[in-house]
């Protein structure tokens, strides 16, 4: 063994270890399956108002951030502003979103839910929570405790996935 090989074998990396392909693959599968499961369990509520998944996502966002501007909604959803504008027009025609001029910038539009949309978002939220509650009941106490302990890491993962600056260019 040469001196350079010895130095390389004893070098301690200061970088965090790379994530294993199995962790990445398993997380992608599990998170996808959870998302599909929640969409399945809220399908009836979406279909009751004849909403697309994108429209439903925008309504939930406006519920969480009343008065959000179209541009900010686009950034949050990770889509183009004109896509959000199209969704807003459709939801406004359906009587689910109200548009108002931004008092700080007369060129911008702020979004608010109508009472019908607020009721719908509550129903969808209830359906999502009920689906999660039923699934949690199928787990043992130790599994539920493990999930609860993992929540801070899951929240950080969700934030990292939502971070637009970490997106590939």
Domains present along the chain, CATH in parentheses = 41-149 (1.10.10.10)
The answer, yes or no, to whether residue 41 has pLDDT greater than 70, is yes
| pTM, full prediction | 0.67
- Closest to 135 in 3D by CA, of 25, 26, 36, 27: 36
Cβ–Cβ under 8 Å, residues 36 and 28: no
The pLDDT, as a whole number, for residue 164 is 57
Position 103 scores a pLDDT of: 83
User: What pLDDT score does 1 carry?
Assistant: 41
Question: Residue 13: left if φ>0, alpha if ψ -120 to 50, beta else—which one?
Answer: beta
Pairwise CA distance, residues 36 & 32, whole Å: 6
For the chain, strand residue ranges (E) read 97-102, 105-113
Distance CA 134, CA 150 (A): 19
Cα–Cα distance for residue pair 137/73, rounded to 1 Å: 35
Task: Express each pLDDT in 68-125 by its tens digit.
Answer: 999 999 988 888 889 999 999 999 999 999 999 878 888 888 999 999 999 988 988 8
């Amino acid at each position: 063994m040469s001196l350079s090989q010895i130095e390389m074998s004893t070098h301690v990396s200061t970088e965090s270890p790379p994530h294993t392909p199995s962790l990445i693959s398993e997380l992608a599968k599990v998170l996808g399956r959870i998302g599909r499961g929640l969409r399945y369990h809220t399908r009836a509520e979406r279909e009751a108002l004849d909403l697309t998944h994108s429209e439903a996502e925008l309504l939930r966002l406006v519920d969480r951030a009343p008065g959000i501007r179209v541009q900010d909604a686009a950034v949050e959803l990770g889509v183009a502003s004109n896509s959000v504008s199209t969704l807003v027009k459709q939801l406004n025609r359906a009587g689910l979103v109200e548009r108002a001029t931004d008092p700080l910038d007369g060129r911008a539009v702020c979004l608010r839910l109508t009472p019908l949309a607020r009721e719908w978002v509550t129903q969808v939220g209830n359906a999502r929570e009920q689906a999660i509650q039923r699934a949690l009941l199928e787990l043992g106490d130790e599994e539920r405790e493990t999930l609860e302990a993992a929540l801070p890491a899951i929240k950080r993962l969700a934030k990292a996935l939502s971070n637009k600056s970490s997106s590939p260019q």
